Structure 1
Amino acid sequence: MRKRKLRQDGTRVSEVGLGCWSFGGSYGPTTEAEAHRTLSAALDLGVDFLDTANVYGMGVSENMIGSFLKGDSSRFTIATKAGIWRDPDTGKRGFNNQADYLRKELEKSLSRLGLEHIDLYYIHRRDQDVSVEDLMETLLGFKKDGKIGGIGFSEISPATLRRATAIGPVDAVQSEYSLWTRQPELGMIQTCAELGVAFVPFSPLGRGMFTSVEPEPATFEEGHFRKGTPRFTEPNFSHNLRHIRAYRDLASDLSTAPATLAVAWSLAQGGHLLPIPGTRTAEHLAECVAGSDFPMTAEIMAEIDRKLPVGWAHGDRYTHDQWVGVEGYC
């Protein structure tokens, strides 16, 4: 597994990481044993970069990782996040970037992970009541205290990134980016490259669409993240499925898995990209990791663009309520 730079201090990680949101049950039930099997497979495959958050299963994902690590994080570089709060009883959510709140959430994450230090700490969503300049001072304080190694932001705009880097080093920006979510090409990928910031695409498999198994929205249970998402409701879903079947045919012609091809496409967008496909299973992870070795060519990239031209997908990637907190630009 090749490595790419994650942090401004030169810290390098596997160019394909593992997103651990699904450990928290957002895509269906899972178990600690299954999560541990996937983490073991990650090590065997050369994956040493894990991404989680305090709200993934309301701490469940961090707990599963912590029980696997048993206090030893030497084999993984770990990123987690804070800034979103949720009421488990009402489902109500909001954003909080106040220093006291973030400090308490950081301590809770450290406790669940069984660690004294987190390699990369993201602000999951911006709280517009706190300036990014004040927020950076808070994060730099955590870094000075030895609690975190690097600073990251999720779903921000290029303008916010520039304001943040004027205060101190930002190591990574995480945004949804895949063959059906291309907005980061309108400035974020370029700004990260200019500033030496890693760009971490989450959901590079289109929330399960760019895999060998077609999702069945009718089977999504309450609490399943994709239930009600416009791209997975009709008539959008049927339109999107027709395009993706053509993409799957292309992957078959290339004798590779759709997930492998999607990850390879992400890696080809720039040397500072570190995709973090999410999965609950070791078998699916192996398909994703194979993207690191896929022999991508300009001809294959052009054929992918013909099958899935920019803007082909129907429906928003989030519901109206889920859009709150994502910074827009362009």
Structure 2
Amino acid sequence: MKFRKLGKTGFKVSEVSFGGWAIGGSWGDVDDKQSMAALREAVNQGINFFDTADVYGDGRSERLMAKLKKETNPKIYIATKAGRRLDPHIAEGYNKENLNRFVDRSLQNLDVNTIDLLQLHCPPTEVYYQEEVFDALEEMVMAGKIKNYGVSVEKVEEALKALEYDNLATVQIIYNMFRHKPGDEFLAKAKEKNVGIICRVPLASGLLTGKFSQDSTFAEDDHRNFNRHGEAFDKGETFSGVDFELGLKAVEELEKIKPEGLTMAQFALKWILMNDAVSCVIPGGKKPWQVRDNAAASEADDLSEKVMERVDEIYNEYIRDSVHHLW
């Protein structure tokens, strides 16, 4: 496993890390014993950075990671998020009182005295223009509740605005073979400001694993079934906002240029890691074999210039028109 610096946190994190949404819920059946096996396998593979949120299974994912931290000897970092417990989820809710309440609950779920990294959880765009929100985060650092803070964003506009806050440590953003826009200007600017980049939805909700077909079905409680058009939250979080059938066609083309010896998932993860502004990717994994497969992307050979150019061409032909302008 290779490691990279995570922005202003100074943490050296595994470039392939672990996303904890799937072990919380909204991805079909979840079994805690199997989830713990996947988490332990992550540590075995050299993964030391785990991303979760207070709303993943209403704290379920956080509590599983607390269990991992207790039984693990090597140092691991756990990042969580706050804000999506708001109902309604509006900018006014991102105030000092609510944020402290959410953080206190996460401290309890994670069974720690201080959180390694707290991220605002895809707040409304107006929040990025409210300095008092970031002042509240600064106060939490001073109080010792959190060590660092960052943001998880939907749009590049939000990410660029967040960079204006001097002590912002990280930005979490969707960047993958089906979502190229962050690479246009944002990633280079983040690197310049020493802001770590955490890439979520790196496999486009599984589309980029190459394991789906037009006949694939998803459980009733799986967001890939109930949120394809943004019925529950931003549609960009499901298949990266790409139409399922269109995505399947693009994956067919990508499979033709996949380097020998790599799985489609490893190819997709390696493509992201080719950008040195990226700190880590956070694919999910409900089963140990999935974690092993993902982790192996770190040691894969760099992709050739020819392959990288062809990925761009496939994106421009199949994907760009439907997603590039939206996020």
Asked whether the two chains share a fold, i.e. TM above 0.5, the reply is yes
Instruction: Give secondary structure in 2 for the equivalent of 1:147.
Output: coil
Q: Is the 8 A contact 2:81 2:118 kept in 1?
A: yes
Instruction: Give secondary structure in 2 for the equivalent of 1:106.
Output: helix
Instruction: Give secondary structure in 1 for the equivalent of 2:187.
Output: helix
Q: Which residue of 2 aligns with 1:195?
A: 193
- CA–CA separation in structure 1 for the residues paired with 2:191 and 2:246: 34
Q: Is the 8 A contact 2:118 2:150 kept in 1?
A: yes
Q: Is the 8 A contact 1:71 1:115 kept in 2?
A: no
Q: Which residue of 1 aligns with 2:179?
A: 181
- CA–CA separation in structure 2 for the residues paired with 1:24 and 1:315: 33
Which of 136, 139, 143 is the equivalent residue of 2:137?
Answer: 139
Q: Which residue of 2 aligns with 1:205?
A: 203
Q: Give 2:21's aligned amino acid.
A: W
Taking the TM superposition and a 5 Å limit, the aligned residue runs for 1:1-330 are: 1-70=1-70, 75-85=75-85, 93-94=89-90, 96-127=93-124, 128=126, 131-155=129-153, 164=162, 166-214=164-212, 219-227=217-225, 228-230=227-229, 236-251=243-258, 254-296=260-302, 297-306=304-313, 308-310=314-316, 312-313=318-319
Q: Give 1:3's aligned amino acid.
A: F
Q: Using the TM superposition, give the Cα deviation of residue 220 of structure 1 relative to its aligned residue in structure 2, in angstroms.
A: 1.9
- CA–CA separation in structure 2 for the residues paired with 1:68 and 1:11: 19
Q: Structure 1-normalised TM-score?
A: 0.85
CA displacement, residues 132-187 of structure 1 (integer Å, 9 cap, x when unaligned): 31111111111111111111111165665565555531111011111111221233
- CA–CA separation in structure 2 for the residues paired with 1:167 and 1:173: 11
Q: Using the TM superposition, give the Cα deviation of residue 273 of structure 1 relative to its aligned residue in structure 2, in angstroms.
A: 3.4
CA displacement, residues 67-99 of structure 1 (integer Å, 9 cap, x when unaligned): 232387862111100011266xxxx65553111
Aligned-pair Cα RMSD in Å: 2.8
Unaligned regions of 5+ residues in structure 2, if any?
230-237
Q: Which residue of 1 aligns with 2:235?
A: none
Assess, with a 3 A threshold, how the Cα gap between structure 1 residues 244 and 189 changes in structure 2: closer, same or farther: same
> Mean Cα displacement is larger for which, 240-249 or 68-77?
68-77
- CA–CA separation in structure 2 for the residues paired with 1:54 and 1:222: 22
- CA–CA separation in structure 2 for the residues paired with 1:24 and 1:212: 24
- CA–CA separation in structure 2 for the residues paired with 1:208 and 1:14: 21
Unaligned regions of 5+ residues in structure 1, if any?
318-326
Assess, with a 3 A threshold, how the Cα gap between structure 1 residues 260 and 102 changes in structure 2: closer, same or farther: same
- CA–CA separation in structure 2 for the residues paired with 1:148 and 1:123: 12
Q: Give 1:100's aligned amino acid.
A: E
Q: Is the 8 A contact 2:269 2:281 kept in 1?
A: yes
Q: Is the 8 A contact 2:7 2:279 kept in 1?
A: no
Instruction: Give secondary structure in 2 for the equivalent of 1:312.
Output: helix
Q: Give 1:210's aligned amino acid.
A: L
Q: Is the 8 A contact 1:45 1:286 kept in 2?
A: yes
Q: Is the 8 A contact 2:272 2:278 kept in 1?
A: no
Q: Give 1:41's aligned amino acid.
A: E
- CA–CA separation in structure 1 for the residues paired with 2:154 and 2:130: 11
Q: Give 1:213's aligned amino acid.
A: K
Assess, with a 3 A threshold, how the Cα gap between structure 1 residues 130 and 283 changes in structure 2: closer, same or farther: closer
Instruction: Give secondary structure in 2 for the equivalent of 1:153.
Output: strand
> Mean Cα displacement is larger for which, 206-215 or 155-164?
155-164
> Mean Cα displacement is larger for which, 211-220 or 29-38?
211-220
* Structure number with higher helix proportion: 2
- CA–CA separation in structure 2 for the residues paired with 1:63 and 1:138: 25
CA displacement, residues 259-298 of structure 1 (integer Å, 9 cap, x when unaligned): 1111110000224331111121111111211111111222
Instruction: Give secondary structure in 1 for the equivalent of 2:292.
Output: helix
In the alignment of these two chains, the number of paired residues is 312
